[in-house]
Amino acid sequence: MSTAPGSPLSLLDNLFWHALAGPQAHFAVGGDEVRRFAPGFSPIVGFADPAHPKLDALIPFCQSGEQFYSDGWSGAVPAGWQVDAEARMQKMIWRAPMPATDEAPEAVRLAPEQIPQILELVGLTRPGPFGPRTIELGEYYGLVEPGSGRLMAMAGERCAAGPLREISGVCTHPDFQGRGLARRLMAKLIRRQMARGETPVLHVMSVNEGAIALYKRMGFDAHRESVVRVISRREAA
């Protein structure tokens, strides 16, 4: 069943494009057919028409060998480009009431001076495409270990389009996993988003069945599965 044009689910079908060409255009570079987050942000590209991506229109805005994540494109690869990795991911949307309480009142809003810690955590856990400026895209919260000041877990907001607000960068340091820290941070963000009249959404790799099951228990519903590719320009021969 197709989704109605302009509906929240239609926006979720191609969220990266609708964010890059809409509310977050000031964080993007590109044109009317293809856009990417500017260097320093998450290396994500969005296509106006993922079924027929105009990859050559991206060339003025990228370097040879620079990698990007793309969503929803599974067609033939044009000359001059290559697919470095391909997988499938679930697009999920929140369907439950607002969480009754803030489950992480002690969480701190992450700031630029904490970027080295953030990038260290990202390197350990690989939650998805992330850059040193990604925290500028929304609110990012972290739980810090008392005494040591180590960043134990974080979660934040990446794309925005219409009423949709994407939860992203969800990760927990290996030394602190199994305590529900990331789930508490997500609940905090969900509560804050819903108080603003926004609808939480997220992307999760299809092979991560444990995370998908957790998100469903929290109140997310799987909308559809999509192809995600890591692409790059080929080096000239």
Shared domain for 46 and 19, answered yes or no, is: yes
Nearest-angstrom CA–CA distance, 216 and 220: 5
Shared domain for 107 and 173, answered yes or no, is: yes
Residue 1 has pLDDT above 50, yes or no: no
pLDDT per residue as tens digits for the range 104-141: 999 999 999 999 999 999 999 999 999 999 999 999 99
pLDDT at 7: 84
Domain for residue 1, yes or no?
no
pLDDT at 4: 67
Domain count, the chain: 2
Local confidence band at 234 (pLDDT 50, 70, 90 cut-offs): confident
Residue 237 has pLDDT above 60, yes or no: no
Shared domain for 81 and 123, answered yes or no, is: no
Give the contacts of 133 (CB within 8 A, at least 6 positions apart). Answer: 38, 40, 41
Q: Is the pTM of this model over 0.85?
A: yes
Mean pLDDT, all residues of the chain: 95
Which token pair is 221? 């519903």
pLDDT per residue as tens digits for the range 37-92: 999 999 999 999 999 999 999 999 999 999 999 999 999 999 999 999 999 999 99
Q: Which domain holds residue 162?
A: 92-224
Nearest-angstrom CA–CA distance, 112 and 90: 30
Shared domain for 102 and 209, answered yes or no, is: yes
pLDDT per residue as tens digits for the range 203-219: 999 999 999 999 999 99
Domain containing 213 — which CATH number?
A: 3.40.630.30
Domain for residue 2, yes or no?
no
